[in-house]
Structure 1
Amino acid sequence: MISELEARVSRRLMLRIIPFVMLLYFISFLDRVNVGFAAMTMNKAIGLSPTAFGLGGGLFFIGYFLFEVPSNLILHKVGARKWIARVMVSWGIVSAASAFVVGPNSFYALRFILGVAEAGFFPGIILYLSLWFPARQRAVAAAWFMAAAPISTAIGSPLSGAIMKLQPIWGLADWQMLYIIEAVPAIILGFVVLKYMTDTPSKAHWLKADEREWLIAKLKTEADAKQSHAGHTAGALSALRDPRVLALALIYFGTSAGLYTLGLWAPLIIRQYGFGSFETGLLAGVPSVLAVVAMILWAKHSDRTEERTWHVVIPCVVACLGFVFAGGATSALMIILALVVVNIGISAAKAPLWAMPSMFLSGAGAAAGIAMINSVGNLGGFVGPFAIGWLKNVTGGYSAGLYLVGATLAVSAVVTLMLSRQSKQAPAAGEEKAVH
C-alpha cells in the first residue's frame, strides 16, 4: 500500500516528465522511419533497388552503434537537458537534408549521419527515467515512453501518407516535402528541451519541498541497497564487459529487428495489395493502436508482480509467430492481422526488458551499459530491414525475410530464459532479481 505522499510524487512525475519525453520520442521515431513512406516514390526517383534501400535504411544503425556509448557517457557528464537538446537539433537538420539525396551513395551517407546525430537519445532517456522513477514504477514509466513508437506509427503513418499526396511546392517532390515537414518539429523541440527539462530531482522546483525530499531519499535508499549487492556494476568499463549487458543486448537485437522491419517495410508490404498512399498509412497505423494498449497493461502487470523474464519471453514468442504468419499471408486481411500480432509482441516485450539494467547498473555503469544494450541491440535494426530487401531480391517475395526476422525473436526468447537460469544457478545478491 503506497502512502499519500508517494502517490502524489508519482502522479507529478508522470504528468511532468512522461508526456514530454513521449513527444520527443514520437518525433524521433517519425523521422527515423518516414523513409518507408518516402520510398514509395523516392526509390524510383533516385534509383534505389530493394537491396540498396534495405542497406541504406539499416546504415542508420551503424552510425547509431558507433556513437551510442560515447554519447551516453557525455550525457552522464553534462546532463540530459543540454545533450538531448543537441541531439534533437542535429538530427532534425540531418533529417531535413535527406530531402536532397540524389542517388544510392548520398542516401547511404545521410542515413549513416542521421544515426550518428541521433545516437544517445533513446538510452539517454532510459537513463534519465532511472534518475527520477523508483524501481517499482520503472517498467510503467518506460512503457509510456516507448509507447510513443507505436503511437508514432499509428498517427505518423496516415500523416506521412497524407503528406505524400500534397501538391508539390518549390519544385520539391512528395518524398522531399515529407522529409522536410517532419524534420521541423525536432529542431523546434530541441530548444524547448533547454527550457523545460530538469536534470535531477534536486533541481525540480516544480515539486513541493516534501515531495522533492521524499523522492531524493527514496532513490538514494534504492541506490545504496543496489551498491551493497555483489552483482552491482557502477564502472563504465565493467558494465561493457558484464555478460548480463551483452545478453540483454542480444535479446534487444531481436526486438529491434522486428520493430524496424515493420517501420521500414510494412508500408511497402501493405501497398503491394493495391492500396494508395493514404490508405496504406491508415492500415499501417491500425496495429500500433492495439500495441500501445498491450504495452501499458503488460508493463503494469510486470511491475505489480515484480517479474521480468516471462514478461519478455512470452511477447517475443508472440511476435515470432506473427512474423511466421505474415510470411505465409496471402491477403491484405491476413497481413494486417499478422502485423497486429507482431506489433503487440514487440511492444509488450520492451518495457520489462528495459526495467532489467537499472537493477544491477548505476552511475557511469548505467550510462555505458544501457547505451551498449541499445547500440548492439539496435544492430537488429540494420540486419532486419537489410535481410528483407536482400531476400526479396533473391526470392522475389517477402516471406523468407519475414521468417528470418521471426527467428531473431525466437533467439531473444531463448536467451532470456538462459539468462534467467544462469541467475538461478549463480545468484549474486541482487543479480537474480534483475532478470525475474
Structure 2
Amino acid sequence: MPQPNDETLPAAVRRVMWRLMPFLFFMYVIAFLDRVNIGFAKEEFQAHAGISEAAYALGAGLFFIGYALFEVPSNLIMQRVGARWWMCRIMVTWGLISAAMALVDSEGVFYLLRFLLGVAEAGFFPGVILFITHWVPHAYRARCNALFYLGIPLASVLGGPLSGLLLELDGTAGILGWQWMFAVEGLIACVVGVWAFFYLDNKPADARWLSQPQRDALQSAVDLEAERKREHSPHRLLTSLVDPRVLYFSLVYFLIQCAVYGMTFYLPTQVSAAVGSKVGLAVGLVTAIPWTVALLANLAVSSGADRVSQQRKRFVAAACACAGSVGIAASAYFSSPVLAICGLAVAAAGYISVQPVFWTFPAAYLTGTAAAAGIGLINSLGNLGGFVAPVAKNWVEETFSSDSAGLYMLSACGLAAAALFLLSSRLPTPAARSTAHPATEEAR
C-alpha cells in the first residue's frame, strides 16, 4: 500500500470521482424522477385514472413496501454477481414498469404497478452506497456520497421542467400528457440500464481506465480498511441485521425519509398553489428553485464534513436536519409565495445535505456481507418513511382540518432525526477513526 505522502492514492480517488460519480448520480436522477414523477402528474392523473386523494397517498407509499421487502435480498445478490449485471437489471426492469404507469386506469392497477416499481428498484440505492465502499476509502466518502446525492436535486432541477414539458404534450398522437411523461421517462431508464452494463466495473482491480499503480493503491486501501472494520463490526449476515447500531441508523433514516418524501410528493402541488398556476412547465421551473439551492448546499456541506472527524459529523448532520425542519415549517406558516418558496428552498437544502453525511456512519462501521445486508436493511426500513409520510400527512390534515398540519408533522420528524444524530456519540465507530485521513486526525 502507498505511504501517506504518496500521491498515487489521492490521484486514483480523483480519477474515480470523475469517472464513476457523474454516471452514478445520473442513474440516481432517473431513479428519483421515476419514483416521484407522480407528484407532477397528480391532478390530471387522478382525474383521468379515477384515483382518489386517499388512494393517491396509499399508492405513492406502496412503492416503499415493495422496496423494503426486497432491499436486502437485492443487495446480497449484487454483492455476489457484481454491480455491472445487477445495476443493469434493476434499471431496465424499473424503467419498463415506470413506463407501464401510462396504462393505469384504476386504483387497483395503480397499487400494483407502484408496488412492482418498488420491487424492481429495490437494491439500487444501497447497492450504490455499497459500490462506493468498494472503490473509495472512508476519508473521501462523504464527498462521493454527496456527488451521488446530487441526483435528488438534479432530478427536480431538470426533471421538473422535463415533466412539465411532457405534460404539455397532452393530446399529441391521442396520448394524454401524464401518459407521455411516464412512458418517456421510463424508457430513458431502460437505455441507461443497458449503458451501465458496459460502463461500470465491479472493483478497482478491474478498472482498465486506471493505471496499474492506481489500481493497486485503491484496492489495497479498500481491502485494508475492510480488514480493520472486521475487528470492530459484525461480519455475519444475521448478526448485522439485529445489531443495535444498524437498528439505530434505520430509525434515524426513517425519520429523514418521512420528511423528505412527505415534502417531495406534494412539492409541485404546493408550488402550484403558491404561484396560482396549474402544474406545467412554469410550475416545473419554479419547483426547480428549491432543488437548485439544495444542490449547491449539498456540495458545500459534504466538502466540509470530510474535513472533520466522524464524531463531529453528527453536529453537521443535526444542523442540516434542523435547517430542513425550520424550512418546511416556514413554508407552511408564510402565506407569501416568495417566503413560502424560500422556506421550501431551505427545507430542500437541509434534507438533501444531511443524507450523504448520514451514510458515512453505517459505511464506517460495516463491511463485507454485513455491509451489503446492513446497508440494505437501513435503507429499506428507512424508506418505509416514504410509505408512512404521505398517508400520515393526509390523516393529520384531515384530522385537524388544516393543510399546514401535515407539514408541521414532517418538520417534527426532521427535528427528531437531529436529536438522534446528537445522541449518536454513544455509538463509537472505531473503524472510521483508525482509517481516517491525516487531515481528519489534525481536525480533532
Is 1:399 the counterpart of 2:394? The answer is: no
Q: 2:299 maps to which residue?
A: 296
C-alpha displacement at 1:47, in angstroms?
Answer: 2.2
Distance 1:82 1:331 in 2: 49
Once the two structures are superposed, what CA deviation does each residue of 1:129-162 show, in whole Å capped at 9, x if it has no partner?
0100011100100000011111111111111111
Once the two structures are superposed, what CA deviation does each residue of 1:367-390 show, in whole Å capped at 9, x if it has no partner?
000011100101111111222233
Aligned identity (percent) is 37
Is 1:244–1:419's contact at 8 Å kept on the other side of the alignment? no
Is 1:376 the counterpart of 2:378? The answer is: no
One-letter code aligned to 2:313:
R
Is 2:40–2:268's contact at 8 Å kept on the other side of the alignment? yes
C-alpha displacement at 1:105, in angstroms?
Answer: 1.6
Range moving further from structure 2, 112-121 or 47-56? 47-56
Report 1:73-112 matches (<5 A). Answer: 73-112=76-115
Distance 1:110 1:14 in 2: 35
Q: 2:185 maps to which residue?
A: 182
Once the two structures are superposed, what CA deviation does each residue of 1:294-330 show, in whole Å capped at 9, x if it has no partner?
1111111111112321121111111111122122121
Range moving further from structure 2, 97-106 or 1-10? 1-10
Is 1:50–1:392's contact at 8 Å kept on the other side of the alignment? no
Is 1:256–1:380's contact at 8 Å kept on the other side of the alignment? yes
Q: 1:275 maps to which residue?
A: 277
Is 1:158 the counterpart of 2:144? The answer is: no
Over aligned residue pairs, what C-alpha RMSD do you find?
1.9
Distance 1:104 1:389 in 2: 17
Report the CA distance shift for 1:10/1:414 in structure 2 as closer, same or farther (over 3 A). same
Distance 1:80 1:397 in 2: 46
C-alpha displacement at 1:394, in angstroms?
Answer: 4.3
Q: 1:250 maps to which residue?
A: 251
C-alpha displacement at 1:242, in angstroms?
Answer: 0.9
- The alignment partner of 1:367 has SS state of helix
Range moving further from structure 2, 357-366 or 41-50? 41-50
Gaps of 5+ in 1: none
- The alignment partner of 1:304 has SS state of coil
Distance 1:220 1:287 in 2: 40
One-letter code aligned to 2:355:
K
- The alignment partner of 1:356 has SS state of helix
Is 1:270–1:280's contact at 8 Å kept on the other side of the alignment? yes
One-letter code aligned to 1:386:
V
One-letter code aligned to 1:333:
V
One-letter code aligned to 1:257:
C
* Structure-1-length-normalised TM-score: 0.95
Q: 1:319 maps to which residue?
A: 324
Report 1:203-218 matches (<5 A). Answer: 203-218=206-221
* Structure-2-length-normalised TM-score: 0.93
2:57 to 54, 57, 61: 54
Distance 1:316 1:35 in 2: 26
Once the two structures are superposed, what CA deviation does each residue of 1:99-128 show, in whole Å capped at 9, x if it has no partner?
111121211111111001100000000000
1:328 to 333, 340, 345: 333
- The alignment partner of 2:307 has SS state of helix
C-alpha displacement at 1:167, in angstroms?
Answer: 4.2
Gaps of 5+ in 2: 436-443
Is 2:170–2:178's contact at 8 Å kept on the other side of the alignment? no
Range moving further from structure 2, 379-388 or 140-149? 379-388
Is 1:257–1:405's contact at 8 Å kept on the other side of the alignment? yes
Q: 1:191 maps to which residue?
A: 194
Report the CA distance shift for 1:428/1:34 in structure 2 as closer, same or farther (over 3 A). closer
One-letter code aligned to 1:371:
G
C-alpha displacement at 1:202, in angstroms?
Answer: 1.2
Distance 2:23 2:433 in 1: 33
Report the CA distance shift for 1:396/1:53 in structure 2 as closer, same or farther (over 3 A). farther
Is 1:365 the counterpart of 2:366? The answer is: no
Is 1:22 the counterpart of 2:33? The answer is: no
Paired residue total: 430
Is 1:65–1:379's contact at 8 Å kept on the other side of the alignment? yes
